[in-house]
Amino acid sequence: MMFASHSTSTAPLDVSQVMRQVLYALIPGTLLLLWFFGWGLLTNWVLAIGFGLGFEAIMLKWRQRPIQPFLLDYSVIVTAWLLAVALPAYSPWWLMAAAMLFAVVIAKHLYGGLGYNPFNPAMVGYAAMLVSYPLQMTAWPAPLDAGFGQVGFEQTMQLVFGGASPASWDGFSAATALDTVKTDLRTHKPLMDIYAKETFGWLGGRGWEWVNLAWLLGGLWLLRQRIISWHIPAAFLGSLVLIAGMFWIIDPAQYTSPLFHLFSGAAILGAFFIATDPVTASTTPRGKLIYAAGIGLFIYIIRTWGGYPDAVAFSVIIMNMVVPLIDHYTQPRVYGT
């Protein structure tokens, strides 16, 4: 059988152990982000988890569910952690609060809580913020140097709680590599000149390439721990690389390379940590391949021809919609049938 796999674990895991291992796998990439963005990442992280736990507890109480076991399943912390690293560092507190509100209250609990939500909560939170507050959602500082040295604690507090605009700090926020490619290609600049800009590194976005390598490391560890199966990351990144490669071979002056697509935006984080959310992904082996390949395809389409520089959230949500259909048509052959 093509997709036959033998389960070899002797000690079965429970939900909280699964979620905890996902959190461990997020640590390397998060530490790198912490180095690049300092206080701005730490405030994101504290706010996201604080709001996440708060909203989760309120909703559980309101829905008359036991609070302790559901808070200790760590699922809300995974959601919060993903949004903490997905929203721009130094995000104002209300942006994070609104993102967590959409993720936990609307996308998760209003649909029935853990296990019942059709859409990835973190991605719903992210997408809702991106369409509502595009300015704040694209205000990423440049990851060029040690973050704690650049912006002090007091400045951070002013940015996060004081309502100060990040634009007022000269040279603070910089367009990401994906942003730059998108806007510069519109002015018919050749890609070679665009690549010469400071925001590009040796694999993709400068600094971001290291963060992405760290996500990859964590993701591979999750694979080794059998927390996730190979199907989703492989099909996700495979389809992205395949399509990007095709266009790149046809016209390398107009289309960025597959490596650039892998290491500039949220593709690797999405492939290992977001699309693999079991609740909202397809469950059959063939279905997982179709689901994840679809995400890779939509990311390329939106990045290249759409209105947004990156597209992991939209692509995941689009494919979440068709999961029931995919699952229906990809049932494995049952023994004896």
Residue partners of 148: CB distance under 8 A and separation at least 6? 38, 39
Q: Can you tell me which of 62, 63, 67, 69 binds another protein, judged by CB under 8 A?
A: 69
Q: Which residues within the stretch 137-166 sit at the binding site for another protein (CB under 8 A)?
A: none
The DSSP symbol for 173 reads B
Q: How many residues bind another protein (CB under 8 A)?
A: 37
How far apart are alpha carbons 67 and 89 in whole angstroms?
30
56 binds another protein (CB under 8 A): no
For residue 224 the two structure tokens come to: 């080794």
Q: What span, in angstroms and rounded, lies between the C-alpha atoms of 23 and 81?
A: 8
Window 93 to 132, contacts with another protein (CB under 8 A): 113-116
**Longest C-alpha distance within the chain, in Å?**
69
Least distance to another protein, CB of residue 61, Å:
17
**In angstroms, rounded to a whole number, what is the distance separating the alpha carbons of residues 169 and 181?**
24
Nearer to another protein, 42 or 326 (CB): 326
Nearest C-alpha neighbor of 295 from the set 319, 277, 263, 323: 319
Which of 3-11, 81-89, 128-136, 202-210 is the region at the interface with another protein (rule: CB under 8 A)? 3-11
Q: Mask: binding to another protein, 15-54, rule CB under 8 A, as x and -?
A: x-xx------------------------------------
Contact between 13 and another protein by CB under 8 A: the answer reads yes
The alpha-carbon radius of gyration of the chain (Å, integer) is 20
Are 104 and 61 spatial neighbours (Cβ–Cβ below 8 Å)?
no
Cβ-based nearer residue to another protein, 114 or 159: 114
Asked if 92 contacts 44 with a C-beta cutoff of 8 angstroms, the reply is no
- The distance of closest approach from Cβ of residue 219 to another protein in the complex, given in angstroms and rounded to an integer, is 17
Q: Calculate the alpha carbon distances from 173 to 102, 139, 182, 184, 284 in Å.
A: 26, 6, 17, 17, 43
6 is a contact residue toward another protein (CB under 8 A): yes
- Please report whether residue 278 would count as binding another protein according to CB under 8 A: yes
User: Between 112 and 162, whose beta carbon lies closer to another protein?
Assistant: 112
User: How many whole angstroms separate alpha carbon 175 and alpha carbon 180?
Assistant: 6
Spell out the residues 6+ positions from residue 274 whose beta carbon is closer than 8 angstroms to its own: 82, 120, 122, 123, 266, 312, 316
Show the binding pattern over residues 311-330: x = contacts another protein (CB under 8 A), - = does not: ----------------x---
Binding letters toward another protein, positions 196-235, x by CB under 8 A:
---------------------------------x------
Q: Is 2 in the site for another protein (CB under 8 A)?
A: no
CA atoms of 219 and 150, how far apart (whole Å): 30
With CB under 8 A as the contact rule, the residue among 192, 250, 253, 334 that binds another protein is 334
Among 27-35, 66-74, 166-174, 254-262, which window interacts with another protein (CB under 8 A)? 66-74
CA separation for the pair 40, 303 (Å, rounded): 26
Cβ(87)–Cβ(137) under 8 Å? yes
| 68 sits near another protein (criterion: CB under 8 A) | no
CB closer to another protein, 67 vs 246: 67
Least distance (Å) between residue 277 CB and another protein: 9
Nearer to another protein by Cβ, of 7 and 168: the residue is: 7
Residues that bind another protein (CB under 8 A): 1, 4-10, 12-15, 17-18, 66, 69-70, 73, 75, 113-116, 229, 278-279, 281, 283-284, 327, 331-337
